[in-house]
């Protein structure tokens, strides 16, 4: 995941004492790891929201393909059947 050069904002988070101590002992950058984990959680939540919002259109498209086949199937280079 590419690192962002955007402005950082100080915040407080609560971590288990065991995990924090282990991370410090290993020299891990807790802020960077937390930021990366949060970015992944945001990406996943956005993808899930998009899928929910577009479920109807996706279902309609799948039904159309089931009924009519894929567009330009006759020009397909790699045939699966």
Query: What are the tens digits of pLDDT across the range 64-79?
Result: 999 998 888 778 777 6
CA 78/CA 44 separation, integer angstroms: 32
Question: Does residue 74 form part of some domain?
Answer: no
CA 61/CA 17 separation, integer angstroms: 50
Q: How many domains does the chain have?
A: 1
Question: Does residue 2 form part of some domain?
Answer: no
pLDDT, position 29: 97
Beta carbons of 1 and 39 less than 8 angstroms apart: yes
Pair of tokens at residue 40: 């992944």
Residues with pLDDT less than 70, the chain:
1-5, 79-81
CB atoms within 10 A of CB 23: 15
Q: Which domain holds residue 40?
A: 17-68
User: What's the whole-model pTM score?
Assistant: 0.69
pLDDT, position 72: 83
pLDDT, position 81: 63
């Amino acid at each position: 995941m590419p690192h962002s050069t955007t402005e950082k904002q100080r915040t407080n988070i609560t971590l288990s004492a065991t995990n924090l101590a282990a991370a410090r002992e290993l020299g891990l950058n807790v802020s960077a790891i937390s930021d990366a984990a949060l970015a992944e959680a945001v990406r996943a939540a956005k993808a899930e929201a998009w899928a929910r919002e577009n479920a109807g259109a996706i279902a309609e498209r799948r039904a159309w393909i089931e009924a009519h086949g894929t567009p330009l199937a006759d020009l397909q280079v790699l045939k699966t059947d």
